Structure 1
Amino acid sequence: MTLDTASRGKIAFQGEPGANSDEACRAHYPDYQPVPHATFEDAFEAVKSGACALGMIPLENSIMGRVSDVHHLLPQSGLKIIGERFKPIHFQLMANRGTRLGDVKTVVSMPFAWGQCRRLLRQLGVSMEAASDTAASARIVAEHPDPTRAAIAPALAAEIYGLDIIARDIEDEAHNTTRFVVLTAEPNPPAPPPGVRCVTSFVFRVRNIPAALYKALGGFATNGVNMTKLESYMENGAFTATFFYAEVDGRPEDVGLSHAFDELKFFSDHLEVLGVYPADPFREASGI
């Protein structure tokens, strides 16, 4: 597709200004303008329509697991993955100026963030108030000053909304990391340069025959392909997990992966490659 000139330099994310996704956009694509969207559907549509050249979308978190909405939206979107970014997640407890930690009775944030900061929340004995987004919780606290309320959000949100950070890096685990994927509407994006370690993401649905999944995956083992992820998910309201999202090391044209895909196709009635992209250096640094 040909992108409208006005769309160049824009990258879509879900959430409000100051969200973790906003931080990820600014850190990894500093030459692009981050554009907030209320929902994942809106962010996907911004990329599909050409309003934004790229999308920065969270796929999974090391504590909370996969972002289920994205697993359903991505295969249907027609978008392609052209990159991945791992972002260490640090949450801050922030409040209006003058608020002390001992004053806080209510903490505003999204449940996904609560689950990553349980230790401090239990220690404080506070009640929780749900917000649609971590950055939104900071905005809410800033717009309605109350010395008994605080928000859990990234440091960028405190800067944007003029709040004080009263407890830093409150996440339960030091390894707390979110993996983002970078999306484009280009149907055939350029292949990664030769010699670069790559990841291939794809979805498939096995045929309704005995041991189909076992046989479909056998080709990856016999051809020496390292499968790093395999997750099932329901589609169209079915209670049988017939769809699978998978990731492997390598490129489809590699001999081993090419043979593995041939075998997978034989035992599947649907196979779609969602992207072939360079592995983030975080993988090697972390031994992934």
Structure 2
Amino acid sequence: MTGTTLVDTSTGLASNYTVSNPTGLTASITPASLLVRATNAASRVYDTTTNASVTLGDNRIAGDVLTISNSGASFAHKNAGANKTVTVNGIALGGADADNYIVNTTATTTASITQAALGVKVDNAEKDQGRANPAFTASYTGLLGGDTLANEVSGNLAFSTPATTGSPAGSYVVSAAGQASTNYALTYTPGVLTVNPTEALQSAVASVISAVNLAPSQGNMVQAEVVAKGETVTSKEDVVQSNQPQQGSAPVVQTTASVNSNVLPGLRLSVVDTGLRLPMETGNTSIESQ
């Protein structure tokens, strides 16, 4: 320290003193406190991890050269949710002016984790007409990492379809619903239930086709009224007698032996062994309309 002098006041006594500069004085400059803040954390989609992305800010003195590092930012847990706490750990300073500051080692902010997509596709199924609906199943797509349905999805998957035991052959939509998840947004895609004709119906249709294709060429035909009387037909000669089908008589069908009548759903016919009996009609009703 140099340049120390005495200043005389109104007493005029300064001239009675001499002054010397002090020596050996010391003092300290303590580091300033630097507050590192987590100014923004990015919200993201659920990915099974706690990883977070954060932007940091601080209150350094203008012009000072500093770098700020950290050991990572993370959510408190992996699950989806809104305004979740994000913590930045291991904050440290570098740069030319790092020694002039002390810094907080952690900082917090909030961000959200939104649900990931989980697809639920109802599997297609088949059944025969007249039978109960099968046990429906579904396939899941979109589970991440080591996640399992048992751990991530709750509730019972419920299937619905307009098809019943008595539904005719055709295609029916099968829908699903009823489950929920914290980390996944479930999207349901319907499947298709195909109701096939019963075996008896398929056989009868095949017989119809056979009768239509073969009977006219072979002449193996009998009048439906013969069948209606319950008569047994063992050969063509038993039927082809002197009387022929008259105007307005019943349609004729192929047959080979005794009658075995069956009522089939959706068809107005009876099975006659390998043939069929068409209902009697008046007028010009065509076979196709029967």
Give the alignment's TM-score, normalised by structure 1: 0.16
Task: Pick the structure with more helix per residue.
Answer: 1
Q: Considering Cα pairs closer than 8 Å and 6+ residues apart, tell me whether 1 or 2 has the greater RCO.
A: 1
Q: Which has the larger radius of gyration?
A: 2
Give the alignment's TM-score, normalised by structure 2: 0.16
